[in-house]
Amino acid sequence: MHRTPQITRRQFTLGSLAAFMLPLAGCSLSSEIPQDLPTYDESEKSARGFVEPPFLRERVKAGTLPPIDERLPEDCFVVGSGTLLQPRYATWRDGRYGGTIRNTPTSPTGNLNLATGSTILRSPSQTTDQSMPNVVSAFEPSPDMRTFAFTLRKGLRWSDGEKVTTEDVRFLVEDLYQHPDSNTPFPTDLFTQRDTRLAPATLRVIDELRFELEFAAPYGQFVAALHSWIPTVSMLFVPAHHLKRYHGDYADPAALQQELDAAGASSWGELMTMKNLPSWSSGEADALGLPVLNAWVLTEVKETTRVFERNPYFWHVDASGHQLPYADSVVNYLVVDDDALLRAVMDGQVTVAAGDNVTLNNMAVYTQSGEHADTRVFLTNSFNFPPLLFLNHDYRHDAPDDPWQQLVADPDARFGRALSLAIDPEAINRSVYFGLHGEPMLNSAEHDPEKARTLLDQVGMDQVDDKGYRLGPDGASFTFAITFPTIALDFAPVAELVRSQLEDVGLRVTIKGVDDGLFGQLVSDNAVMASIHWNDGAGWSTGISNDYMPNEKGAWSPETWAYVQSKGEQGRKPPPYVQEFYDIASRRTEHPPASPEGKAAYERLMEWLTGHYAFIPTTGLRVKPNVVKNGVANLPDAGAPFELDTILNLEGIWFER
């Protein structure tokens, strides 16, 4: 009898496993996604001299999108050399269409919020003095800096094709900010002098394209807010035609109820805050379908991906007739944490990694993986100050004879000065930052431990305990307690070095790193004596950032801030020397930061902050790496002043291959 060949179950299993593995061994699956650059004829121009982006040509041909001449306003914003970044920091070359910018952020928008945040006025980099009208076509402040007149661009449209008019401003101010049920209060920048105790702006609409804002007192710093990518254009412009369907006064009740049910909101105010998203949240699922004034529009939301496509109505163009952005799309692939982000950068999956996505500590990794990842690294300075040692002037303010209060309230600020003399910024620079940070700056420029010891003796800390640590001015044991949030890799080593430097002059120091959430709570409870944190110091002089206020970042006086904000109901009444700060800060807001008065006011502000030792820089000006794929043009040069410009100006980058 013929017997068919038998194989045992084991032979079958092993055999099929082997057969399965063979193709795995043989094939090479690439993990690079090639840039798919379209070919097109640059000389094919429209009547007005523009080149239609190949990405949109199909839709124009099919009639679903108007041709480029009709999409752009009468008067476009022309981007060229020196527009987005000063010529000495970047070389601008008009580019070509095509390509996808890839990011791997840890949150849906990541730092794309910077690139998708159009501003009302534009000045290169973080300056505010070479102002060009951006969303508006004309801007005129009154001489007393109380009234600001705006003219919109004729023909400017939202990303869905609807015209931008003053109705968008009126709806935002009257039907949202001023409406009691809208859950949308006035933003800080629209209050007179950024002071929430004073009156917010009053709106006067003149016609479809012109409007005026008036403030109760001179508020020259408003000019800086109009340039700032922090409040962005959403401060004054929202797509009224789109948002009215979520507004209780405008929407059809049945339709509104459907929207409420779909979103799970209990009031239209709640619904409005879910739908009216600023550019900070341009990657959130709710931003799908929201008309914007940004270079890219969110078009696809998946579990771990966000896809943005070019805005057909973006009004920035280059001198050769291209409509910006050059890159057709942006893809954000979400990763779980910074380590996964690092691996993505190492693998070449990120087109431009800058700002929060990179740290100097990983320089070795970026350089080493450069060849495999086809990337290069260049260094720029930073929008942020380096880690600073903050002193909380409100710590134990309720104990009248507390030694800490004695030390910080000293009119000669000897304790603060002693700390700054004891800190050795160059040693910290060498140990933690490869010596790449700048020269010692501000109030820690001088390093003299001997002088520090003399000053500590002078403030009454000349007695020591049995371990050799100085006793406090009250004769009891004194511990200088530094708390820091573990939000950056360099805080812990910097804290360690600061500790050893302060112990060198006889102080007993403890350091504690805590989770950022816990740090926030400790600050709210006024339980932090000193902390390590950074702030946007490099961006203060031009008014783009204002986080020198006492509750921000390291919080050098959170209780007096609470007092001021609550109009006296909570917190600590500012002692005269802190009240001086509030007065200087208010006075500063009266003038545009770029004006001579503004600059003088800024000098006074910095004098107060450094003279009273609100914070002490632990090292010189920060330097940050930027890791970018090869073949990308219009990036800043090495040594550019702000790493954030690398991302802010993504609309101008293009792919050479």
Partner 1 sequence: MGPVLRYVGRRLLLMIPMLVLISFLSFVIIQLPPGDYVDTYARNLASEGGSVNADQLAALRAQYGLDQPMLVQYLVWMKNILFHWDFGTSFAYNQPVSEILAERVPRTMLISLVSIALTWAIAVPVGIYSAVRKYSVGDYVVTFLSFVGLAVPGFLVALVLMLLVYDHTGFLITGLFSPPYREAPWSVDRVLDLLRNVWLPLVVLTVAGIGGIVRVLRASLLDELGKQYVVTARAKGLTEGQVLRRYPLRLAMNPLLSTIGWMLPATVGGEIVVSKVLNLPTTGPVLLESIQSQDMYLTGAIVLLLSALTIIGTVISDVALAVADPRIRYERSRAA
Binding residues for partner 1 restricted to 261-290, rule: CB under 8 A:
264, 269-270, 273-274, 280, 284-286
Phi, psi of 105, deg, nearest 5: -80, 170
* One-letter amino acid for residue 395 of the chain: Y
Binding residues for partner 1 restricted to 292-321, rule: CB under 8 A:
302-305
Residue 174, interface with partner 1 (CB under 8 A)?
A: no
Residue 582, interface with partner 1 (CB under 8 A)?
A: no
Residue 183, interface with partner 1 (CB under 8 A)?
A: yes
Nearer to partner 1, 503 or 552 (CB): 552
How far is Cα 220 from Cα 147, in angstroms, rounded to an integer? 10
CB of 506 to partner 1, least distance (A): 34
* One-letter amino acid for residue 243 of the chain: L
CB of 124 to partner 1, least distance (A): 19
- Tokens describing residue 6: 């038998």
Across the strands, what pairs with 132?
122
Instruction: Supply the DSSP symbol for 355.
Output: G
CB of 528 to partner 1, least distance (A): 14
Sole window of 35-43, 184-192, 217-225, 628-636 interacting with partner 1 (rule: CB under 8 A): 184-192
Task: Say which residues have a Cβ less than 8 Å from residue 24's Cβ, sequence separation at least 6.
Answer: none
Contacts 24+ apart (CB under 8 A), 130-134: 131/223, 131/227, 132/77, 132/83, 133/77, 134/77
Sole window of 237-245, 254-262, 308-316, 345-353 interacting with partner 1 (rule: CB under 8 A): 345-353
> Which residue in 59, 197, 372, 573 binds partner 1 (CB under 8 A)?
372
Q: What is the 3-state secondary structure (H, E, C) of 455-510?
A: HHHHCCCCCECCCCCEECCCCCECEEEEEEECCCCCHHHHHHHHHHHHHHCCCEEE
Residue 524, interface with partner 1 (CB under 8 A)?
A: yes
Residue 120's nearest CA partner among 200, 43, 231, 250 is 231
CB of 516 to partner 1, least distance (A): 6
> Which residue in 130, 147, 178, 196 binds partner 1 (CB under 8 A)?
196
> Which residue in 188, 359, 406, 595 binds partner 1 (CB under 8 A)?
188
* One-letter amino acid for residue 113 of the chain: N
Size of the site for partner 1 (CB under 8 A): 64
Strands of 22-154 (E only): list them. 77-79, 100-103, 121-122, 132-133, 136-141, 147-152
* Residues 381-410, mask of contacts with partner 1 (x by CB under 8 A): --x---------------------------
Nearer to partner 1, 1 or 29 (CB): 29
Residue 224, interface with partner 1 (CB under 8 A)?
A: no
Binding residues for partner 1 restricted to 469-488, rule: CB under 8 A:
487
- Tokens describing residue 64: 């679903």
CB of 4 to partner 1, least distance (A): 29
Sole window of 11-19, 204-212, 545-553, 573-581 interacting with partner 1 (rule: CB under 8 A): 545-553
> Which residue in 14, 199, 255, 340 binds partner 1 (CB under 8 A)?
340
Residue 27, interface with partner 1 (CB under 8 A)?
A: yes
How far is Cα 42 from Cα 321, in angstroms, rounded to an integer? 9
> Which residue in 393, 553, 591, 612 binds partner 1 (CB under 8 A)?
553
Residue 489, interface with partner 1 (CB under 8 A)?
A: no
Sole window of 330-338, 437-445, 505-513, 648-656 interacting with partner 1 (rule: CB under 8 A): 330-338
CB of 287 to partner 1, least distance (A): 10
Nearer to partner 1, 286 or 448 (CB): 286
Residue with tokens 């070509």: 96
Packed helices 576-588 and 558-565: angle between N→C axes, nearest 10 degrees? 60
Binding residues for partner 1 restricted to 227-256, rule: CB under 8 A:
230
Residue 565, interface with partner 1 (CB under 8 A)?
A: yes
CB-side exposure of 309: number of CA atoms within 13 Å?
13
Residue 521, interface with partner 1 (CB under 8 A)?
A: yes
CB of 179 to partner 1, least distance (A): 12
381 three-state secondary structure:
strand
> Which residue in 1, 19, 47, 336 binds partner 1 (CB under 8 A)?
336
310 three-state secondary structure:
strand
Residue 468, interface with partner 1 (CB under 8 A)?
A: no
Q: Give the burial string for 411-449 (b: 16+ CB within 10 Å, else e).
A: eebbbbbbbbbbbbbeebbeebbeebbbebbbbbeebeb
Q: 10 Å Cβ neighbour count for 129?
A: 16
CB of 291 to partner 1, least distance (A): 19
| Helix (H) and strand (E) counts in the chain | 22, 22
Residue 346, interface with partner 1 (CB under 8 A)?
A: yes
Nearer to partner 1, 88 or 372 (CB): 372
Instruction: Supply the DSSP symbol for 647.
Output: H
Q: 10 Å Cβ neighbour count for 566?
A: 11
Phi, psi of 651, deg, nearest 5: -60, -25
Binding residues for partner 1 restricted to 31-70, rule: CB under 8 A:
31-33
CB-side exposure of 476: number of CA atoms within 13 Å?
7
How far is Cα 421 from Cα 220, in angstroms, rounded to an integer? 37
Nearer to partner 1, 166 or 349 (CB): 349
Residue 197, interface with partner 1 (CB under 8 A)?
A: no
Sole window of 66-74, 80-88, 335-343, 416-424 interacting with partner 1 (rule: CB under 8 A): 335-343
Q: Are 385 and 535 in contact (CB under 8 A)?
A: yes
Sole window of 246-254, 320-328, 444-452, 541-549 interacting with partner 1 (rule: CB under 8 A): 541-549
Sole window of 41-49, 162-170, 185-193, 209-217 interacting with partner 1 (rule: CB under 8 A): 185-193
Residue 490, interface with partner 1 (CB under 8 A)?
A: no
Using DSSP bridges, classify how beta strands 296-301 and 210-214 pair: parallel, antiparallel or unpaired. unpaired
How far is Cα 393 from Cα 353, in angstroms, rounded to an integer? 37
Nearer to partner 1, 44 or 525 (CB): 525
Residue 212, interface with partner 1 (CB under 8 A)?
A: no
Binding residues for partner 1 restricted to 101-130, rule: CB under 8 A:
102, 104, 111, 113
CA distances from 389 to 11, 409, 634 (A): 69, 17, 37
- Alpha carbon of residue 101 to chain centroid: 19
Residue 370's nearest CA partner among 610, 628, 112 is 628
CB of 359 to partner 1, least distance (A): 14
Sign, CA torsion 605/606/610/616: positive
Judged by the rule CB under 8 A, the positions of this chain that interact with partner 1 are 23-24, 27, 29-33, 102, 104, 111, 113, 183-188, 196, 230, 264, 269-270, 273-274, 280, 284-286, 302-305, 333, 335-337, 339-340, 343-344, 346-347, 349, 356, 372, 383, 487, 515-518, 520-521, 524-525, 536, 545-547, 552-553, 565-566
